[in-house]
Amino acid sequence: MKREKKKIGLTTKILLGLVIGFIFGCGLYFVPSGFLKDTLMVDGLLYLMGEVFLRAIKMLVVPLVFVSIVNGAANIGDIKKLGRIGGRTLSFYIVTTAIAISLALGMASIIDPGQNFDLSAAVETEVEIGESLPLVDVLLDMVPENPIAAMTNGNMLQIIVFALLIGVALSALGKKTKYVTDLFAQLNELMMKIVGYVMLLAPIGVFALISRTFASEGLGAIGPLIKYFGTVILVLIMHAFLTYGSILKLFTGLNITTFIRKFFPAISVGFSTASSSGTLPVSLEVAEKNLGISKNVSSFTLPLGATINMDGTAIMQGVATIFIAQVYGIELTFSQLLTVIITATLASIGTAGVPGVGLIMLSMVLQSINIPVEGIGLIMGIDRLLDMTRTAVNIVGDSVCTLIVAKKEGEFDESKFRQKENNFNGVAASNLDYQ
Ligand code: ASP
């Protein structure tokens, strides 16, 4: 059989980084603590390599979100269309989150992860209780008093609102502000080019982040909490394949497996960084290049999703609530479960797309039904691994909704989605590379 010599694509390289990082990290876990393991590797080389990559993508988030939303809104032009896209996106985000949390509560009630759990073995950990964010505050907080401060603080919702206004105004002004509109279009190109450069670091960055996590956490910590851990992972997988799989099929006729394969570069970055916001630059580019979603839609819906749509986080919160309730021997009533669905959906809106925040927001869910918040201490130790997985689900949710909305608006190029080769970063990667 004749086979052309193939260049290894970026996607394959990232996958290799992930797998090698996992093996290397697990190996390093067993090396006794000391200069070699801690100073040289974990807090030295691995930290440096991972942190450079992380900082490089974080550096892009604020300018990219701002520029891409202004550009997207200016291009959509028609304010009615923008409203329609916004309405559909919000409905999708809220409905899928409510499904996610219901699925989590249902499965956790069947599996009973906290039954027969010996509370005496549990560590007493001081838990930092998150400020609960009533809906009024969430809404009020969307309007920036000072847009520059919003940018320096990385307040995504405020940046989104400000950028939307500029975009809408630019399109209303039309020819009068043509140069400014063109400038934003060019700035957008510029940002995407830089994302491409940063992504060249991804395989090494992913390797370092994953090995560092496993070198310090190992898999041993999961031991006593295996049932809780397994339930969260199971529901995350079910939600990704069943919920997203069926809505994707229903609304677009497309297959979730292909979707996940094509979206893989973003998923791997989400997994290794545990930050939806941090992954945004990559999600935006992969959505356009590999999934065929027009920037007009994704530039607006993906930043919004990375900020308010956290299905994976809601799933963890649902399972954790049942787990903690069972550990404390509390029987939950139907109305308490309903309260959990509502508060977890709101908590997911208020959760920032950065590592670990989901766990802090869990305190708001527990408080809403009077379950001891200290219970969070039980699951803290293994949260990092779950955080990585739920972040991957969070960003898949954002992009599935985005694709559906884009298709409805005629802003989806199906031929790109169906292409065998990935176009991400201009590096061709055969689908077979990572099967
Ligand atoms: N790390 C998650 C995210 O960025 C949020 C969380 O659940 O902590 O999507």
Is the pLDDT confidence value at 82 over 50?
yes
Give the pLDDT confidence of 118-162 residue by residue, as tens digits. 554 554 545 544 454 556 776 787 889 999 999 998 887 788 889
**Ligand 1 atom closest to the CA of 359, numbered from 1:** 8
Predicted local confidence at residue 425, as pLDDT: 54
Is the pLDDT confidence value at 387 over 50?
yes
- Does the residue 113 lie in any domain? yes
Q: What is the mean pLDDT of the chain?
A: 84
Predicted local confidence at residue 434, as pLDDT: 28
Tokens of 176: 């009068």
3-class DSSP state for residue 293? strand
Query: How many percent of the chain have pLDDT more than 90?
Result: 39
Is the pLDDT confidence value at 223 over 90?
no
- Does the residue 52 lie in any domain? yes
- Does the residue 17 lie in any domain? no
**Ligand 1 atom closest to the CA of 306, numbered from 1:** 9
| Mean predicted confidence (pLDDT) in 3-28 | 79
Report the range of poorest mean pLDDT among 182-196, 280-294, 306-320, 419-433.
419-433
State the distance from the centre of ligand 1 to the C-alpha of 313, rounded, in angstroms.
6
Interatomic CA distance for residues 213 and 211, integer angstroms: 5
- Does the residue 241 lie in any domain? yes
The residues, any chain, with a CB within 8 Å of residue 33's CB and separated by 6 or more, are: none
> How many Cα atoms sit within 13 Å of 329 on the Cβ side?
3
Please report, for the domain that includes residue 62, its CATH number. 1.10.3860.10
Greater confidence, 5 or 77? Answer: 77
**Ligand 1 atom closest to the CA of 274, numbered from 1:** 1
The residue range of the domain holding 205 is: 33-423
- Does the residue 370 lie in any domain? yes
- Does the residue 16 lie in any domain? no
**Ligand 1 atom closest to the CA of 353, numbered from 1:** 4
State the distance from the centre of ligand 1 to the C-alpha of 395, rounded, in angstroms.
10
| Mean predicted confidence (pLDDT) in 411-428 | 72
> Is residue 377 lining ligand 1, measured as CB closer than 6 Å?
no
- Does the residue 50 lie in any domain? yes
| Mean predicted confidence (pLDDT) in 11-28 | 86
Interatomic CA distance for residues 57 and 279, integer angstroms: 7
Residue 432 host element (H or E): none
How many structural domains comprise the chain? 1
State the distance from the centre of ligand 1 to the C-alpha of 39, rounded, in angstroms.
28
Ligand 1, from 345, 385, 394: best to mutate by most atoms within 8 Å of Cβ?
A: 394
Predicted local confidence at residue 193, as pLDDT: 87
Q: Within the chain, how many helices (H) and strands (E) appear?
A: 20, 0
Predicted local confidence at residue 134, as pLDDT: 58
Interatomic CA distance for residues 211 and 30, integer angstroms: 12
Instruction: Single out the residue of 348, 366, 351, 358 nearest to residue 383, CA to CA.
Output: 358
> Is residue 274 lining ligand 1, measured as CB closer than 6 Å?
yes
- Does the residue 13 lie in any domain? no
